[in-house]
Amino acid sequence: LVQRAVDAHPGIARLSVALDRPVIGLGASAPLHYAGLAELIGNDCVVPRDTDVANALGAVVGQVRVSAEARVSQPIEGLFRLASGETVRDFLDEAAAIAAAEADVRAIVAERARDAGTDSAEIDVATEFRVSTVEAQRMFIEAHVVAVASGRPRIAV
């Protein structure tokens, strides 16, 4: 009987779930969108008096967070191929390819962070290497480089 109710089969039992606290509507359009909600959910719906500034407050106290990634591969021994953004470049040295990948993703996230609304983003770069050992020699397979920029949004005056 309970399983039939959970599966929503018609019969003599019905299962319902309800919220045990009121829903709070925020944002300039909250009075419109939440007007009939209380009746639908069978619970109170509260729209604060200054709800129209809630989104602006969230933007001010929020965080901007953007990321970018690059990959360095070795299609043939001694050639290190960097794929970053929309560019592909070849290097003859692993360290140079990794350094270029880190510089590329750092520049990409700095620009994305500015475009997303922050003037001062903290940038973290992480590099994950996939290597193997063949006949006691380190063999580079691939490196995945990820940069994450985060910061507070600028406040327009």
Same structural domain, 35 and 110: no
Tell me the per-residue pLDDT of 111-146, one tens digit each, with 9 for 90 and over. Answer: 999 998 888 899 999 999 999 999 999 999 999 999
Same structural domain, 54 and 99: no
Pairing of strands 64-76, 79-84: antiparallel
In a domain, 128, yes or no: yes
Judged against a pLDDT cut of 60, whether residue 62 lies above it is answered with yes
Expressed as residue numbers, the domain containing 109 is: 63-151
Helices (H) and strands (E) in the chain — how many of each?
A: 5, 7
pLDDT of residue 72: 98
Same structural domain, 30 and 103: no
Q: Are 85 and 115 in contact (CB under 8 A)?
A: no
Same structural domain, 33 and 94: no
Same structural domain, 49 and 69: no
| pTM for the whole structure | 0.62
In a domain, 92, yes or no: yes
Mean pLDDT check: name the lowest of 18-22, 89-93, 114-118: 18-22
Last residue of a domain, one of 59, 77, 102: 59
In a domain, 156, yes or no: no
Same structural domain, 44 and 79: no
φ, ψ of residue 5 to 5 degrees: the values are -70, -45
Number of structural domains (the chain) is 2
Last residue of a domain, one of 59, 81, 106: 59
Q: Report H helices in 7-128.
A: 30-33, 37-41, 54-61, 94-116
Same structural domain, 16 and 67: no
Alpha carbon distance 123, 38 (integer Å): 44
